[in-house]
Amino acid sequence: MGDCNSFKLITVDPMILLTCNNVISYFIALDEYGVGQNCASVSSLPSSENDATENSLPSSGIDVSESNFPSSGNDPESTLPCSEDDTLRVKDVVVHRTTIRSDMIEIFKDSNVLEFLLDFTVLDANGQKEKGKGKGVQRDVLTQFWHEFFTVLATGSSEKTPYIRHDHQKLQWEAIARIIVYGYTVAGYFPVQLSQMFISTCLFGEDGLTKPVLLSSFRSFITGEDREIFYLCLSDDFDPESKDILDFLSIYHCYKKPTKENMEKILFELAHQELVQKPRYIVNCWAPILSMLQVHAAFQTRQSLADLYESKRPTSRKIIKLFEAETRSECEKQSLDHLKRYVRSLEGKALERFLHFLTGSDVITCEHITVEFNSLDGIQR
């Protein structure tokens, strides 16, 4: 093995060795490269940013492909996933990589769009068609849409809540709700960065929201620095004259004088203000459309919704459990061990980028990831 800061797959006959070279930087740059192939090859990782071109991807080494995703019975090439309704008609749609958020909203303004299975074609910044078709492209488009949505149309830290804008009226918000329904029903994609409490309000209403649940969601909504103040407000070290605490409360327009006795009530009221009251117009737009998801068990109770969020969030342990591989030699076993060791070293955005590279999605959308080994001979090394 090389040093721990480099990562590159090298195949040596009969040994298959996994080493490193700047993989994390590569995953961070994946938006420029593009995802959408039905199969990703770990051996295709470029050794530098200059190598990240379409022609730099060899087809040998360890192939890691996402599997166990149903194909559409209406698609002769069986490259598109399907929903539970196998009678969906296929509809060709075109989106531009640079305007993918507005393009998606425009497509999903059509109230009948959920009756179709969309076959996406992506145009790059130069107006050229990107390579790749099928389920990988579909999940990649959904992933980029939600990345842009959370940047432009949502607020919050680890959990985000949509906020109103003058250029987004009822038609736009309803279109975004249809993207959620389509993403989950057809591609198994659900944007777990959306506040769980916000989605719960859309599905089940405000009744049943408890103080612990609301405060927990508020903790995830505020920034890391504000979270420290949040904990301080509920601790024995609470000081009602603390400048940090008063600044924190003023950000959310608190009009009560804080005391040790009323501090928890104030935090609950602020959480309700930010997570329930402010996005109420969006809840009203989304609720009738998101109710279509309640045919799925994951959206029938608050607990099943919490379980869905937990199952979709990627962790290194979950991704490793998805790997399915048949090792026929000690060399292949060592290579698989190196791959698992690398995945365990990833956290946060780097882990999401790795999953995005393999499946086109930054959340878990498949039940298995098949790892296959290829032996290279001669000049193919």
- Co-location of 191 and 327 in the same domain: no
How many separate domains does the chain show?
A: 3
Residues 95 and 121 in one domain: yes
- The mean per-residue pLDDT over the stretch 308-322 comes to 94
Asked if residue 287 and residue 185 are part of one domain, the reply reads yes
116, part of any domain: yes
73 falls within a domain = no
Task: Give percent of the chain with pLDDT exceeding 90.
Answer: 62
**Tens digit of pLDDT for each residue in 300-312?**
999 999 999 999 9
Same domain, 156 and 177: yes
Same domain, 169 and 118: yes
Answer whether residue 132 shows pLDDT above 60.
yes
Mean pLDDT check: name the lowest of 181-190, 233-242, 280-289: 233-242
308 by DSSP, 3-state: which? Answer: helix
pLDDT tops 70 at residue 260: yes
Interhelix angle for 135-152 vs 170-187, to 10°?
Answer: 140
288 and 272, same domain (yes or no) = no
pTM score: 0.77
Same domain, 329 and 230: no
| DSSP secondary structure, 188-223, as one string | ----TTB-HHHHHHHHH-STT--HHHHHHHHHHHS-
Question: Domain range spanning residue 337?
Answer: 6-67+316-380
Domain edge (last residue) among 312, 332, 362: 312
| 335 shares a domain with 285 | no
pLDDT of res. 131: 87
Specify burial of residue 178 (Cβ count, 10 A radius: 0-12, 13-18, 19+).
buried
Same domain, 33 and 178: no
